Amino acid sequence: MIRQTDRSSLGAFRNRKLSRRHLLRGAGAGIALPMLSAMRPAFSARPTPPPKRLIAICAGLGFHGPHLFPAAEGRLDATTPYLDNLRDHCDQMTLLSGLSHPNQNGNNGHASAMTWLTSAQRPGLAGFKNTISLDQLIASKLGGVTRLPYLCLSSGNGSLSWTANGVNIPDEQSPAKIFQKLFVNGTAEQIETQLVDLRRGRSILDTVRTDAKRLEKTLGPRDREKLDEYYSSIRDLENRLGQSQQWVKRPKPVVDYEPPSDVVDKQDIIAKQTLMYDIMRLAIATDSTRVMTFSIGGMNSVPSNIPGVKTDWHNLSHHGKDEQKIAELRLIEAAEFEAFANFLTMLKTTREDDRTLLDGTSILFGSNLGNASSHDWHNLPIILAGGGFRHGRYVAHDARDNTPLANLFVSLAQWMGVEIDAFGSSTAAGVRGVEVA
């Protein structure tokens, strides 16, 4: 029972708003409080804001610039072949040129794909170690708010995602398996087996950590530094295991979508992209994850079911200004932009409270190559669609002195609620032409 005096104190407490600067003081130390309910206005009737999501999509063989970029910056409309494919979405996207990461010469012409979301320099060369990718930074800050902290998807070219220790995260290539992971509930026995495996994983990590601490006393400075990275990996795994346990027993969402079968024809790139886009829409519509990456890559073979294409895709990307090759390449890339436009349409026509999924999702679409024919990593084609930004323009940054692409990453992280003012090779917290609405 609460006494009358206690009720008065409680009322007074509820009617004032705690500052986040409030400290717990003891033994001469001050510890800042985390965000608490009492720090919000008392009896606030404001509903929880709808979630924000980030999707990053990279085309490893780039896009032919003259078919994408207008002659001059300004209002965005269907003035080029590829923008014509996106004509229904020009008011909800921003096209940028003149962006890149510095020092992307690597051990091969396509090495910059490794660093598209990290901005680490000299990819693949001696002494190279990748850094954390934008998606993983954001996922680590969001915690276990969704069943899956992130999805790393690809058409079979490897994932775009890297841990804080520079380890590439395995890609998911099968839409059928992803669908099962997101929407098919296991039996009681399967769920219990999952829980046992998770608990076993935690106990193994506890043992390994104890052994590592014992070993630490015998190591020199450089080895201790490596061991610190190892501890960080263990903590990350423990957090993920703990979050996974919370979700195992929760029923998965029900969706009005027939469980898919994977595309059998490995050369049917557009069918594969389209099916993966379907799964991506379902994942965000059910709030199963808020961070996704998708590598749509490329291949050394002829794509099927694209009339008029007779030459392998990689060969076409190295067109050397051959008009016949460029004409075939245009057919492939136009089909990719059409598939992307259909994805945007799905998000635009799916409502979530008083907005659409596209309103609540920032989509970074582009490539790690500005001119795939010469493996040039400058002047990258970058589209930012959806989310809470002002759109409807083509913004051309300096083609000779490129603006760091990582500057844009800072804006995206901040929009997602991650309080940073720098990321990787960034030199500023944002880029010209990208502003929050």
> 192-209: buried (b, 16+ CB within 10 Å) or exposed (e) per residue?
eebeeeeeebeeebeeee
pLDDT attached to residue 15: 39
Give the model confidence (pLDDT) of 304-355 as tens digits: 999 999 999 999 999 999 999 999 999 999 999 999 999 999 999 999 888 9
The pTM of the whole model exceeds 0.75: yes
The partner residues of 394 in beta bridges, in order of sequence, read 74, 95
pLDDT attached to residue 306: 97
Rounded average pLDDT over 73-84 = 96
**Best-predicted range by mean pLDDT (4-18, 34-48, 165-179, 200-214):** 165-179
Give the model confidence (pLDDT) of 220-257 as tens digits: 777 766 666 665 665 565 565 555 556 566 778 888 89
Contact between 160 and 295 under an 8 Å Cβ cutoff? The reply is yes
Angle between helices 405-415 and 134-142 (to 10 degrees): 20
Among residues of the chain, what percentage have pLDDT more than 70? 76
Question: Which residue reads 């990719």 in tokens?
Answer: 336
Give the model confidence (pLDDT) of 364-405 as tens digits: 999 999 999 999 999 999 999 999 899 999 999 999 999 999
Rounded average pLDDT over 146-153 = 92
pLDDT of 190 strictly over 90: no
**Rounded Cα–Cα distance for residues 177 and 183 (Å):** 10
pLDDT attached to residue 254: 84
Q: Is 236 exposed, middle or buried (0-12, 13-18, 19+ CB in 10 A)?
A: middle
Radius of gyration, alpha carbons of the chain: 24
User: Mean pLDDT across the chain, nearest whole number?
Assistant: 84
CA angle 308, 385, 117 (to 5 degrees): 85
* pLDDT band at 31; cut points 50, 70, 90: very low
Among residues of the chain, what percentage have pLDDT more than 90? 65
**Rounded Cα–Cα distance for residues 343 and 334 (Å):** 14
pLDDT attached to residue 200: 60
